Structure 1
């Protein structure tokens, strides 16, 4: 994870491999790299070609959003996560709905709640797919012609 992009409510582990939400707004340096409204953090990786796969543990989490975004996304102020604004994400909201964050959101009906979500990016094919690693099932695929550098989004 890239702590320079982390919202001040998030606590990034020392090894930069895990994050948890906090109740206290940390006193972090102001930066245009840092998200100031969306409570999120970017991965350290930059993708402009190739195929990439990573897994995210969401076990016992009641709310989360993850996927990819353009490196150039706006990080300040009110932002709506959608492909129109450079985000290709999947979420679990407090109502226990799994959603693909398109405009309007698509509610997804999963056979089994995931404990681990696999994310597969094929840059040249213009696809990012989400998988439920728990039961080895496909959740959702976005199709888009990517033209900019992408980063993991949590």
Structure 2
């Protein structure tokens, strides 16, 4: 039987933010800007992928959060395994959707800033496939991670339209990840968390 386990907001972790990303004081918005001189701590993403992680990882239960992308022309939203090496290009341990050049794509094991080809791509542990064409310009994205059931889903909360679902047996702590060169905001909606109760 599933029972609510409380709620808490998604807060971005400044210690993971790429040096070109600027976080708001309340740690709910991120935008691209001038490169900052920041400590190169182990958790900081310093590869070509300009990303930031949520401050809390998830290793059980169901977690949802909404992100306002607005008129941003490029963004990536999803989750990243805690164990992923953050000092080089990410080529495993990530599940995300991307909006770039007017196209939506689902990305497994890779955070790719710009995909030039308009066809699906597979290379070893990672793959990219296009899911666009049927959506108007999305303003908000709902991310729903059901860790126990191995599902990561994306939807448009304004129209309740499903965008994409990944199915995977998660075994690591999973962190929300946002990649952008423009402004993106985690909405002040609470994360809804559900955990299983044994009978």
Structure 1 match to 2:94? 87
1:138 aligns with 2:145: no
Separation in structure 2 between the aligned mates of residue 87 and residue 135 of structure 1, nearest angstrom: 26
Any idea what the Cα deviations from partners look like across 1:7-49, whole Å, max 9, x if unmatched?
A: 0000001111110011x11000111110111100000121010
My pick for the range that moved more, 32-41 or 97-106, is 97-106
TM-score (norm 1): 0.92
TM-score (norm 2): 0.72
**Uncovered stretches (5+) of structure 1, i.e. residues with no partner:** none
Any idea what the Cα deviations from partners look like across 1:111-143, whole Å, max 9, x if unmatched?
A: 322100000110110000000123210000000
Separation in structure 2 between the aligned mates of residue 127 and residue 76 of structure 1, nearest angstrom: 27
1:31 aligns with 2:41: yes
Structure 2 match to 1:116? 140
Higher relative contact order (CA 8 A, sep 6+): 2
1:106 aligns with 2:129: yes
Separation in structure 2 between the aligned mates of residue 40 and residue 126 of structure 1, nearest angstrom: 24
Separation in structure 2 between the aligned mates of residue 73 and residue 104 of structure 1, nearest angstrom: 17
My pick for the range that moved more, 96-105 or 36-45, is 96-105
**Uncovered stretches (5+) of structure 2, i.e. residues with no partner:** 1-11, 109-125, 179-199
Separation in structure 2 between the aligned mates of residue 124 and residue 60 of structure 1, nearest angstrom: 34
Q: Over alpha carbons, which structure has the higher Rg? A: 2
Residue pair 1:50, 1:123 contacting (<8 A) in 2 also: yes
